[in-house]
Structure 1
Amino acid sequence: MRKLTITALMSAMLATAPVASVFAAQQPQQAAAPQAQQIEVTDSQLKQFAGAQESVNEIRVDAMAKLEKVEDQNQAQAIQQQANQDMVNAVQDSGLSVEDYNLIARAVQSDTNLQSRLKQMGNG
């Protein structure tokens, strides 16, 4: 029972949280404020975002698989913290700051044009 509770909680947090909120703990409070305005995203930034997003998703899937195998809450928390740090590193390795990644992630969620551009990059 306890394993299921931890796994369900952590899986829900990693799987359903918007990409931008994964890094919320890394950001100053003002950066967490919703940004309704549209931002201009260059093709270069979108390519960087796509690469970072792929890495972030791989890290998320790996962390969820590990979480399914742990029963200890401390181990689960350590896995989550490591995954978050790995995600930050993946974003920074892509050439984007975490703040820029989060801004683009929020924009992609609400802008169908950006969604289309991102899909085209994945297929091309």
Structure 2
Amino acid sequence: MKIKFKKKRLYINLILGLVWLALGILNLTEDDKIRWTDYGYLVAGILYIGHYLYDLTNQYLTIENGTIRKNGLYGFGKQINLNEINWIKKFAGDYTLKTHQRELKINTELIDKDSLTELNKILTELNLPPEKTPFANNV
């Protein structure tokens, strides 16, 4: 199961990528003298579009085979087993899933509303003690 990004976040990366690409192409075609910074605009545009495509394909979180993985471009993804989670903290809308050795922070403002409902359902089903979960009152 994939927990999806809000569409707004995805579209912002796409628009920024297109703007940087257009700026780079404009600089390359306008000036007679090409500077190295003109290529920087193109690189920034390509990176933003690559980030958009990665996020569109992999989305924010992947929950499968008893693990929850935060997908991150450039190798910054984290993964923990659901059965090892012993504490869920909720602060300022963010969830922090804790095990004995690891911690995974989830920014709920980045998550699509329907996917957030699914994530809450999954986290509620972990059957943690009431003092170690913000979902104890929802059951």
Q: Give the shorter-chain TM-score range.
A: 0.3 to 0.5
Q: Select the structure with the greater relative contact order (CA < 8 A; seq sep ≥ 6).
A: 1
TM-score, normalised relative to structure 2: 0.30
Structure number with higher strand proportion: 2
Larger Rg over CA atoms = 2
Structure number with higher helix proportion: 1
